[in-house]
Amino acid sequence: MFLKFQFLGKMVLLDKLLPKLKERDSRVLIFSQMTRLLDILEDYLMFRGYQYCRIDGNTGGDERDASIDAFNKPGSEKFVFLLSTRAGGLGINLATADVVILYDSDWNPQVDLQAQDRAHRIGQKKEVQVFRFCTEYTIEEKVIERAYKKLALDALVIQQGRLAEQKTVNKDELLQMVRFGAEMVFSSKDSTITDEDIDRIIAKGEEATAELDVKMKKFTEDAIKFKMDETAELYDFDDDKDENKADFKKIVSENQIEPSRRERKRNYSESEYFKQTMRQGGPTKPKEPRIPRMPQLHDFQFFNTQRLSELYEKEVCYLMKAHQKNQVKDSIDVDETEVGHPLTAEELEEKEHLLEEGFSLWSRKDFNTFIRACEKYGRNDIRSIAYEMEGKTEEEVERYAMVFKERYKELNDYDRIIKNIERGEARISRKDEIMKAIGKKLDPYKNPWLELKVQYGQNKGKLYNEECDRFMICMVHKLGYGNWDELKAAFRTSPLFHFDWFVKSRTTHELARRCDTLIRLVEKENQEYDERERQARKEKKLAKVCFSPS
């Protein structure tokens, strides 16, 4: 396999660079635009024995989170993270890495900047190094140069709130960029890179970056002056230049007066005008009573809404009638029964107890996390559910689970919620049945990795051989049903299938389908075995009855 890599300049450079980074305990992010190239890099990392993770556009959400957690966890042995520039450049925190390698550059410089920011996140404790691979005298140099110009224009035009019409690349310019350095490429004779060349290549890259920075600085100065060509400027005229001409922009900035703050005018209201006029000089309006506000009670917080509403209505009713009584002037007698009574000490205590009884600190996010955890682990696995909850102790989750079990019908959409939970628990139960069936199948064999036999019947198929099926059943028993990524990795690293390219190239979905087929065969074989056992016990019992002495 190394013969394939030694003819690729970037791969040879990467092969020399990674051991140096490994020695200093660095961790590396490698970005590329093409998933096919990520496949090649993945084969190379497996060939060299580097542990890695990968994210591209085909990676699912759960697998994506699992890869990030595996890479970021303390003491992780993952050395390299392969990412596609578009799919892996947003919404990911990989602060545990301190080296970023851009294997190929994007026409849009913002995409590469977002990819670099995956390591410049909160929690980064090391200095981050960024290596941008570029093949000399190729179109890549022009791509990077044009990306720098876009960044300069972005800083000058867009970031300052101005708009400019950007010139598009025409056909001749593209053809010139593709032909750039073609003669140098075909006439080059150097084909090997030694360990001593690494430092020289990096130093040369730093010099090229410095030259490009100087070039971009001149481009920025020309862009500020709106320079149209090398000889003429937009503000040049035919008359003689005045050396002592005042700086107009400086004068404007120094003498600019800050405009006054604009205030929104209220629409004219006739009734409001007369209210204000009559109020002037008149008696002050008595203050409205402060009505106690009932807190917002969500259904998933499991408050006693009915009783709390009764107490709040009683309290509000008393305050409103007492306020109306104070407003009545020259009243001789007012019946106390009409006003009512305030809440008693027992009722106030009861209200406080009801407010504490509910789960006021549980948000909608916490509730949704609890439901998803119940679907994943089942309602009885409190420890696993509490592990998924952020900011909640196991005792709090256990108390909430008990109340949820008793009062789940108070939820607005409880039918859908319970169906989803029961569907998840059915998957867990089915998984347990599968593991028991596989264990029962393997128990009679002393060494099932070599001795296991599968009764195919008429449905053996031609794609998978018996050795592959035996390995798959044993690995599922070891790893657990549903861990298809680990199963795929086991096939790819096992020496038994080193040259079996068909099995090593199967996707996780294809392996899952084959595994389900084998499980159905195993379950059918177990059922036939149980049926034979029951029939033998029945015949033995009948024979014992027939030959027993009368």
**Residue 146, token pair as written in the block:** 């044009």
Residue with tokens 């995956």: 118
Q: What amino acid is encoded at 432 in this protein?
A: D
Taking the CA atoms of residue 150, residue 156, residue 160 and residue 161 in that order, the dihedral angle to the nearest 10 degrees is -60
For 12-46, b where at least 16 C-beta lie within 10 A, e where not — what string?
A: bbbbbbbeebeeeeebbbbbbbebebbeebbebbb
Residue with tokens 């913002």: 110
Confidence of residue 226 (pLDDT cuts 50, 70, 90): very low
Confidence of residue 182 (pLDDT cuts 50, 70, 90): very low
pTM score above 0.85 = no
Higher pLDDT, 246 or 117: 117
Higher pLDDT, 532 or 186: 532
Where would I find the H helices in 35-170?
35-48, 61-72, 109-116, 139-153
What φ, ψ does residue 494 adopt, rounded to 5°? -75, 135
DSSP three-state, residue 134: coil
Please choose, from the candidates 223, 102, 203, the residue with its C-alpha nearest in 3D space to the C-alpha of residue 158: 223
Residue with tokens 């130093």: 203
- Enter the DSSP assignment of 335: -
Range with the lowest mean pLDDT among 37-46, 179-188, 535-544? 179-188
The whole-angstrom separation of Cα 508 and Cα 486 is: 9
Identify whether the C-beta of residue 98 lies closer than 8 Å to the C-beta of residue 127.
yes
Per-residue confidence (pLDDT) for residue 232, from 0 to 100 = 44
The whole-angstrom separation of Cα 62 and Cα 349 is: 47
Per-residue confidence (pLDDT) for residue 53, from 0 to 100 = 92
DSSP three-state, residue 493: helix
DSSP three-state, residue 49: coil
The whole-angstrom separation of Cα 513 and Cα 545 is: 48
The separation between the first and the last C-alpha atoms of the chain, rounded to the nearest angstrom, is 81
Range with the lowest mean pLDDT among 54-58, 65-69, 211-215, 385-389? 211-215
- Which helix or strand (DSSP H or E) is residue 53 part of? strand 52-55
The whole-angstrom separation of Cα 115 and Cα 104 is: 12
Per-residue confidence (pLDDT) for residue 5, from 0 to 100 = 63
Higher pLDDT, 228 or 424: 424
Confidence of residue 235 (pLDDT cuts 50, 70, 90): very low
**Residue 127, token pair as written in the block:** 């200095």
Confidence of residue 234 (pLDDT cuts 50, 70, 90): very low
- pLDDT, tens only, 185-219: 445 555 555 565 666 666 666 776 667 667 656 65
Identify whether the C-beta of residue 370 lies closer than 8 Å to the C-beta of residue 420.
no
Confidence of residue 535 (pLDDT cuts 50, 70, 90): confident
Per-residue confidence (pLDDT) for residue 323, from 0 to 100 = 67
Q: Are strands 80-84 and 52-55 parallel, antiparallel or unpaired?
A: parallel
Q: Hey, which residues does 80 pair with through a beta bridge?
A: 28, 52
The whole-angstrom separation of Cα 363 and Cα 389 is: 12
CB atoms within 10 A of CB 90: 11
Q: Hey, which residues does 32 pair with through a beta bridge?
A: 84
In Å, how far from its chain's centre is CA 465? 38
- Enter the DSSP assignment of 54: E
- pLDDT, tens only, 460-477: 767 888 889 889 999 999
Query: Which residue pairs from 316-321 have beta carbons closer than 8 angstroms and sit at least 24 positions apart in sequence?
Result: 316/291, 316/292, 318/342, 318/343, 319/289, 319/290, 319/291, 319/292, 320/289, 320/291
Residue with tokens 């890479």: 71
Compute the average pLDDT of residues 172-192: 52
Compute the average pLDDT of residues 6-12: 79
Confidence of residue 233 (pLDDT cuts 50, 70, 90): very low
Q: pLDDT averaged over the chain?
A: 76
Ordered by where they begin, the domains of the chain are 2-223 (3.40.50.300), 364-427 (1.10.10.60), 444-546 (1.10.10.60)
